[in-house]
């Protein structure tokens, strides 16, 4: 007997898909009907993540169905948003930007690009033509509240700012982790799904990992050893490790002989930073520092990995440089079990004949404070002053893409006031939030399950060379991010948004092909642009360009009938991904310095070393509380707070403090406290927490959902305060990265 209930049930399908929410790129198994997500879990057959998934990935169905997520463009009329058609919304953008699309007007256009862009196929492939079409130097991004010091260090050392070696965790014996909490962040600039599992496996096979963090994070709690460093001094401590390795003659970079310039100068450079000389600041005992240096040097295969706690910090660029110098000195750069450079399927094989140009910054400077450009962008903390300060090139029109700088960048309230003064603002975003509420037009791209996916950035940092592609789970007709960026690029070029998008896409595609054809070492050398173009498949701009990159890439089919080679079609037929093998040494291919060797020394590093020496004379900030941040497992910067399964838990926007500090200040667990920095004051509940070291307090970022006129009902029900309202607009030094950690504060009863 069949029940009508069952007969009417829509058929259940299963789709496999890479999670686009963070750098781990977990494979997900999604059970769904034609329009409803039923269940999401980790895909056990995924070649890299093998079933791992975190609660955010599991909540993708909630994100897809979130009634607050924007599905139609919004236009602001007389201060109120209303829904509009794409035609009308894009026409409004054309109209709003028109006054600035002149030679003298373009410098007044600003752009801020946020983090989800790098998790989006369209975002990664089509941002560049858009920014180029705008013709402005007022370019800002979340990179300068994040990792740009690491890019800068790689640029200086390797000649390529995107050459970011990753710990070869499967084969290492010893891992030194600083300023990172991969147990909860799932890894950063290091694509390794299930880092908890991988770290456990490292210990099981007799390896060790040591965590340097002012908090006893979950990563630290699982480590062989935790060193609760005083925040803000990692660069000094890393230099002390170099000092020990140099003075005790522990360096053994044998396989790098002839590939590294300037090793002989390191003894002198590190001399002032003995473990004793830095101990009063780092609060790490000299004998511990010495022991760690010896352990690191003695390990057969070891890796030093440092992330945002060290980068978005005082001397972040120097910390990134010293991290790599340690990997070089211990002979672990570009070696199995050390740190290695992945080779992704869409990477361009290095042209043997192309002349390396080296790397430079400061090709132009910001208008108001004179910050040097790094990687073509300016520090995001300069955006406020660039809007507020009159004169030629004052930002009057702003484009934001997948960003919420009001909550995610320091002194967000000042930025909000500045945004309110703009003549015109357009946001590409899936929510009406603290930033996009200032826009005149909001253009919502397809959601995470409605678009094709391939991780252009993160497959370049994966612990194994792999490739995978996810077609959209739902065909809703929603406009893809790629299409919107191309629409905007067309407008910026004075073309009609829709037909123009095709022109911009075609131009980029053909230019990409032509660049390869000009290189005799390319696998497609000798072909014709038209012939290759005609062979490309794909239903969207991202797919078409990806198909080209894969087929002409290092594992590609080279447009031959060789079925073993990669193409988009081949990836489509492998929903759990394709394994391309373990990481291989490839430093020679990576180096783009003028000398063709790793260049340890540069003017920028010399200046930073001078600042580090000056810091040694500082007294320990013993009597002061230093504020640091906190990422939590269920959160994602400022933007996943509208999903009930992630936000509905105990109050998380708390100030954590060690019991001794609370006792000294006569503060009780749970009471409201006033946190005061040089910049501002904020109220938050106090949480006395054993993970804190004395003298350090922690407040998570991304909260402060303070406006009734946003459309994020769940987030607004759990507002919290914004840590960034407490942070001054300060940069770490040559990279322009904001200083997010070790901010002096006082805390008192509210």
The yes or no reply on residue 522 touching ligand SF4 (CB under 6 A) is no
* Smallest distance, Mo ion to C-beta of residue 744, A: 24
Q: Give which of 676, 679, 674 is closest to 414, Cα–Cα.
A: 679
* Smallest distance, ligand SF4 to C-beta of residue 471, A: 18
Length reported for the chain: 750
d(CA 124, CA 703): 27
Query: Looking at 94, 146, 194, 480, which residue binds ligand MGD (CB under 6 A)?
Result: 146
The yes or no reply on residue 25 touching ligand SF4 (CB under 6 A) is yes
The yes or no reply on residue 628 touching ligand MGD (CB under 6 A) is yes
Q: Which is nearer to ligand MGD, 435 or 522 (CB)?
A: 435
Find out whether 370 and 399 touch, Cβ atoms under 8 Å.
no
**β partners of residue 467:** 578
Write out 236-279 in H/E/C secondary structure.
HHHHHHHHHHHHCCCCCCHHHCCCEECHHHHHHHHCCCCHHHHH
- Beta strands (DSSP E) in 618-713 are 625-628, 655-657, 672-677, 681-688, 696-698
d(CA 610, CA 337): 33
Q: Which is nearer to Mo ion, 146 or 184 (CB)?
A: 146
Task: Please choose, out of 95-103, 157-165, 284-292, 634-642, the segment that lies near ligand MGD by the rule CB under 6 A.
Answer: 634-642
* Smallest distance, Mo ion to C-beta of residue 146, A: 4
Find out whether 590 and 158 touch, Cβ atoms under 8 Å.
yes
Q: Which is nearer to ligand MGD, 587 or 715 (CB)?
A: 715
Cα 306 to chain centroid, rounded: 14
Find out whether 414 and 644 touch, Cβ atoms under 8 Å.
no
163: tokens are 């050459």
Q: Which is nearer to ligand MGD, 137 or 314 (CB)?
A: 314
671: tokens are 């009471």
Q: Angle at Cα 386 formed by Cα 380 and Cα 387, nearest 5°?
A: 105
The yes or no reply on residue 195 touching ligand SF4 (CB under 6 A) is no
The yes or no reply on residue 324 touching Mo ion (CB under 5 A) is no
The yes or no reply on residue 23 touching Mo ion (CB under 5 A) is no
State the Rg of the chain over Cα. 25
Q: Which is nearer to ligand MGD, 428 or 532 (CB)?
A: 428
Task: Please choose, out of 174-182, 274-282, 356-364, 469-477, the segment that lies near ligand MGD by the rule CB under 6 A.
Answer: 174-182
Cα 83 to chain centroid, rounded: 32
* Smallest distance, Mo ion to C-beta of residue 241, A: 26
* Smallest distance, Mo ion to C-beta of residue 277, A: 33
Q: Which one of Mo ion, ligand MGD, ligand SF4, none is in contact with 19 (Cβ closer than 5 to 8 A by kind)?
A: ligand SF4
Task: Please choose, out of 129-137, 210-218, 570-578, 601-609, the segment that lies near ligand MGD by the rule CB under 6 A.
Answer: 210-218
Find out whether 613 and 276 touch, Cβ atoms under 8 Å.
no
Query: Looking at 114, 556, 704, 734, which residue binds ligand MGD (CB under 6 A)?
Result: 114
**β partners of residue 304:** 176
Task: Please choose, out of 17-25, 314-322, 406-414, 508-516, the segment that lies near ligand SF4 by the rule CB under 6 A.
Answer: 17-25
d(CA 570, CA 14): 20
681 by DSSP, 3-state: which? strand
* Smallest distance, ligand MGD to C-beta of residue 161, A: 16
- Beta strands (DSSP E) in 114-207 are 138-141, 166-167, 174-178
Query: Looking at 193, 403, 444, 736, which residue binds ligand SF4 (CB under 6 A)?
Result: 193
Task: Please choose, out of 14-22, 496-504, 693-701, 733-741, the segment that lies near ligand SF4 by the rule CB under 6 A.
Answer: 14-22
Q: Give which of 179, 233, 178 is closest to 621, Cα–Cα.
A: 233
Task: Please choose, out of 197-205, 266-274, 308-316, 552-560, the segment that lies near ligand MGD by the rule CB under 6 A.
Answer: 308-316
* Smallest distance, ligand MGD to C-beta of residue 229, A: 5
Find out whether 585 and 340 touch, Cβ atoms under 8 Å.
yes
The yes or no reply on residue 587 touching ligand SF4 (CB under 6 A) is no
Q: Which is nearer to ligand SF4, 53 or 164 (CB)?
A: 53
d(CA 187, CA 167): 11
Q: Which is nearer to ligand SF4, 54 or 101 (CB)?
A: 54
Q: Note the helical H segments in 603-686.
A: 603-616, 644-647, 659-664
d(CA 131, CA 139): 8
- Residue 741's contacts (CB-CB under 8 Å, 6 or more residues apart) are 179, 231, 232, 309, 312, 313, 626, 627, 628, 629
Segment (H or E) for 63: helix 60-65
Query: Looking at 66, 416, 429, 661, which residue binds ligand MGD (CB under 6 A)?
Result: 429
Q: Which one of ligand SF4, ligand MGD, Mo ion, none is in contact with 402 (Cβ closer than 5 to 8 A by kind)?
A: ligand MGD
The yes or no reply on residue 24 touching ligand SF4 (CB under 6 A) is yes
The yes or no reply on residue 412 touching ligand MGD (CB under 6 A) is no
Q: Which is nearer to ligand MGD, 433 or 593 (CB)?
A: 433
Q: Which one of ligand SF4, Mo ion, ligand MGD, none is in contact with 699 (Cβ closer than 5 to 8 A by kind)?
A: none
d(CA 492, CA 66): 32
Query: Looking at 23, 43, 94, 146, which residue binds Mo ion (CB under 5 A)?
Result: 146
d(CA 440, CA 442): 7
- Residue 399's contacts (CB-CB under 8 Å, 6 or more residues apart) are 109, 110, 111, 112, 134, 425, 426, 427, 428, 488
d(CA 559, CA 542): 18
Q: Which is nearer to ligand MGD, 446 or 587 (CB)?
A: 446
Task: Please choose, out of 209-217, 239-247, 259-267, 544-552, the segment that lies near ligand MGD by the rule CB under 6 A.
Answer: 209-217
Query: Looking at 15, 16, 17, 21, which residue binds ligand SF4 (CB under 6 A)?
Result: 21
Q: Which one of ligand MGD, Mo ion, ligand SF4, none is in contact with 710 (Cβ closer than 5 to 8 A by kind)?
A: none
Q: Which one of ligand MGD, ligand SF4, Mo ion, none is in contact with 213 (Cβ closer than 5 to 8 A by kind)?
A: ligand MGD
Task: Please choose, out of 15-23, 225-233, 341-349, 350-358, the segment that lies near ligand SF4 by the rule CB under 6 A.
Answer: 15-23
Which is it for the CA torsion 500, 84, 406, 445, positive or negative? negative
Q: Which is nearer to ligand MGD, 464 or 705 (CB)?
A: 705
The yes or no reply on residue 712 touching ligand MGD (CB under 6 A) is no
638 by DSSP, 3-state: which? coil
Task: Please choose, out of 10-18, 225-233, 255-263, 384-392, the segment that lies near ligand MGD by the rule CB under 6 A.
Answer: 225-233
d(CA 295, CA 95): 63
d(CA 35, CA 43): 21
The pair phi, psi for residue 673, each rounded to 5°, is: -125, 155
Count residues near ligand MGD (CB under 6 A): 62
Which residues within the stretch 13-32 sit at the binding site for ligand MGD (CB under 6 A)?
22
The yes or no reply on residue 377 touching ligand MGD (CB under 6 A) is no
* Smallest distance, ligand MGD to C-beta of residue 527, A: 34
* Smallest distance, ligand SF4 to C-beta of residue 455, A: 10
The yes or no reply on residue 184 touching Mo ion (CB under 5 A) is no
Which residues are near Mo ion by CB under 5 A? 146
- Which residue ranges make up the site for ligand MGD (CB under 6 A)? 22, 114-116, 120, 142, 145-146, 178-182, 184-186, 188, 212-215, 217, 229, 231-232, 234, 307-310, 313, 401-405, 408, 428-431, 433, 445, 481, 628-629, 631-633, 635-639, 701-702, 723-724, 727, 740-742
Q: Which residues bind ligand SF4 (CB under 6 A)?
A: 19, 21-22, 24-26, 53-54, 56-57, 186, 193
């Amino acid at each position: 007997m069949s029940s009508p209930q069952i007969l009417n049930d829509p058929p259940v399908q299963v789709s496999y898909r890479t999670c686009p929410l963070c750098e781990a790129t977990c494979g997900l198994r999604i059970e769904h009907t034609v329009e409803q997500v039923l269940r999401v879990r980790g895909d056990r057959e995924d070649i890299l993540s093998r079933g791992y998934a975190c609660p955010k990935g599991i909540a993708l169905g909630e994100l897809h169905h979130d009634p607050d997520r924007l599905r139609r463009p919004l236009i602001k009329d007389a201060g109120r948003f209303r829904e509009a058609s794409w035609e009308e919304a894009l026409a409004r953008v054309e109209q709003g930007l028109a006054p600035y699309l002149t030679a003298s007007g373009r410098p007044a256009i600003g752009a801020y690009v946020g983090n989800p862009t790098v998790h989006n196929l369209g975002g990664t492939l089509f941002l560049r033509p858009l920014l180029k079409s705008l013709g402005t130097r007022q370019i800002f991004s979340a990179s300068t509240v994040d990792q740009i010091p690491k890019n800068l260090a790689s640029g200086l050392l390797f000649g390529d700012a995107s050459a970011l070696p990753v710990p070869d965790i499967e084969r290492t014996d010893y891992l030194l982790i600083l300023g990172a909490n991969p147990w909860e962040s799932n890894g950063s600039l290091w694509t390794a799904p299930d880092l908890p599992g991988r770290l456990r496996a490292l210990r099981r096979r007799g390896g060790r990992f040591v965590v340097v963090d002012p908090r006893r994070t979950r990563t630290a709690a699982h480590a062989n050893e935790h060193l609760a460093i005083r925040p803000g001094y990692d660069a000094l401590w890393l230099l002390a490790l170099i000092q020990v390795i140099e003075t005790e003659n522990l360096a053994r970079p044998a396989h790098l002989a002839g590939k590294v310039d300037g090793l002989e100068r390191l003894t002198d450079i590190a001399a002032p930073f003995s473990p004793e000389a830095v101990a009063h600041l780092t609060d790490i005992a000299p004998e511990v520092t010495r022991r760690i240096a010896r352990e690191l040097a003695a390990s057969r295969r070891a890796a030093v990995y440092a992330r945002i706690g060290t980068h978005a910090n005082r001397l972040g660029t120097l910390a990134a440089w010293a991290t790599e110098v340690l990997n070089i000195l211990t002979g672990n750069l570009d070696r199995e079990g050390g740190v290695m450079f992945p080779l992704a399927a869409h990477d361009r094989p290095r042209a043997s004949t192309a002349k390396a140009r080296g790397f430079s910054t400061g090709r132009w400077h910001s208008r108001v404070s004179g910050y040097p450009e790094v990687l073509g962008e300016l520090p995001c903390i300069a955006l406020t002053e660039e809007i507020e300060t009159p004169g030629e090139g004052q930002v009057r029109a702003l484009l934001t893409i997948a960003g919420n700088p009001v909550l995610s960048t320091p002194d967000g309230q000042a930025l909000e006031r500045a945004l309110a003064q703009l003549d015109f603002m357009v946001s590409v975003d899936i929510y009406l939030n603290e930033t996009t509420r200032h826009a005149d037009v909001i253009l919502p791209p397809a959601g995470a399950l409605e678009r094709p996916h391939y991780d252009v950035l993160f497959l370049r940092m994966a612990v194994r060379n792999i490739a995978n592609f996810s077609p959209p789970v739902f065909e809703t007709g929603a406009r893809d991010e790629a299409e919107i960026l191309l629409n905007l690029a067309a407008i910026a070029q004075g073309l009609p948004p829709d037909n123009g998008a095709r022109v911009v896409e075609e131009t980029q595609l053909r230019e990409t092909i032509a660049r390869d054809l000009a290189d005799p070492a390319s696998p497609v050398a000798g072909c014709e642009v038209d012939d290759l173009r005609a062979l490309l498949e794909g239903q969207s701009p991202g797919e078409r360009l990806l198909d080209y990159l894969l087929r002409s890439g290092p594992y590609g089919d080279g447009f031959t009938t060789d079925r073993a080679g990669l193409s988009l079609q081949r990836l489509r037929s492998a929903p759990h991904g394709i394994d391309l093998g373990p990481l291989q040494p490839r430093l020679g291919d990576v180096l783009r310095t003028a000398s063709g060797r790793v260049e340890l020394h540069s003017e920028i590093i010399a200046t930073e070393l001078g600042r580090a020496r000056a810091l040694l004379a500082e007294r320990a900030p013993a009597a002061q509380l230093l504020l640091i941040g906190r990422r939590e497992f269920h959160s994602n910067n400022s933007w996943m707070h509208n999903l009930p399964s992630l936000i509905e838990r105990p109050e998380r926007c708390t100030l954590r403090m060690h019991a001794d500090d609370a006792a000294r200040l006569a503060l009780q667990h749970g009471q409201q406290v006033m946190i005061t920095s040089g910049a501002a004051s904020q109220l938050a509940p106090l949480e006395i927490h054993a993970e804190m070291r004395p003298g350090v307090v922690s407040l998570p970022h991304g909260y402060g959902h303070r406006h009734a006129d946003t459309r994020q009902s769940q987030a607004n029900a759990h507002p919290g305060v914004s840590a960034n309202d407490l942070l001054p607009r300060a940069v770490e030094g040559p990279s322009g990265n904001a200083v997010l950690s070790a901010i002096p504060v006082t805390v008192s009863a509210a």
